[in-house]
């Protein structure tokens, strides 16, 4: 019985070492969490964005193949005016503009309208238009310049949805610029 009692008792040194060891494990786990999760959140990777010069697309040169839910559209003074009396106006544009969107590009439409709405661009890769291959941007009434980031992964046709509600929108200009995103602080 005396031997069993002796095995259960700890010397002060042994208790201190056991407690110190647990404290070291506790510190190591917290240091690991800080380095893996907290520090990267507050100090993200350095990224550099380089945007090329915007090159205008002649609106009157857009080869519009079809118009859906559009009452009328016409080009005057280099601007495209779209009038829709029902929701979801769509313009289908041929592949000429798609060639300019190869690689990563930013599409910058300059719009004028009376009320707020949403502008969307969808692309067809040969299997039709799909919601997951579209970029949308809400805009206020008046004059707006939007910047839509387009993925450069192939495009056969482009669908421009200048508005989702009935009314008129004037596309005064469309411009395209390429961009590159690089890791590192320098371009």
Secondary structure in 3-state letters for the chain = CHHHHHHHCCCHHHHHHHHHHHHHHHHHHHHHHHHHHHHHHHCCCCEEEEECCCEEECHHHCCEEEEECCCEEEEECCEEEEEECCCCEEEEECCHHHHHCCCCEEEEEEEEECCCEEEEEEEECCCCCCHHHEEEEEECCEEEECCEEECCCCCCEEEEEEECCCEEEEEEEEEEEEEEEEECCCC
Query: Do residues 102 and 12 both lie within one domain?
Result: no
pLDDT tens column, 135-159: 898 888 899 999 988 876 678 888 9
Domains in the chain: how many in total? 2
pLDDT at residue 187 in the model: 45
Query: Do residues 97 and 21 both lie within one domain?
Result: no
pTM equals: 0.68
Query: Do residues 172 and 117 both lie within one domain?
Result: yes
Query: Do residues 82 and 165 both lie within one domain?
Result: yes
Residue 110 is part of which domain span? 49-183
Query: Do residues 175 and 112 both lie within one domain?
Result: yes
Query: Do residues 29 and 69 both lie within one domain?
Result: no
């Amino acid at each position: 019985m005396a031997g069993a009692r002796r095995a259960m008792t700890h010397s002060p040194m042994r208790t201190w070492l056991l407690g110190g060891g647990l404290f070291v494990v506790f510190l190591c786990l917290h240091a690991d969490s800080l380095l893996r999760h907290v520090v990267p959140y507050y100090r993200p990777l350095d990224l550099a964005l380089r945007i090329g010069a915007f090159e205008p697309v002649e609106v009157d040169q857009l080869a519009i193949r079809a118009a859906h839910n559009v009452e009328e559209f016409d080009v005057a003074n280099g601007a495209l005016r779209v009038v829709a009396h029902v929701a979801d106006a769509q313009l289908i544009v041929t592949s000429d503009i798609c060639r300019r969107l190869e690689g990563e590009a930013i599409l910058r439409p300059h719009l004028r309208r009376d009320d707020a709405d949403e502008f969307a661009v969808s692309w067809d890769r040969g299997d039709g238009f799909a919601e997951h291959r579209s970029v949308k941007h809400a805009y206020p009434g008046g004059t707006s310049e939007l910047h839509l980031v387009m993925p450069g992964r192939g495009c056969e046709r482009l669908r421009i949805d200048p508005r989702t509600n009935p009314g008129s929108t004037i596309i005064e200009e469309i411009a395209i610029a390429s961009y590159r995103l690089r890791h590192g602080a320098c371009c």
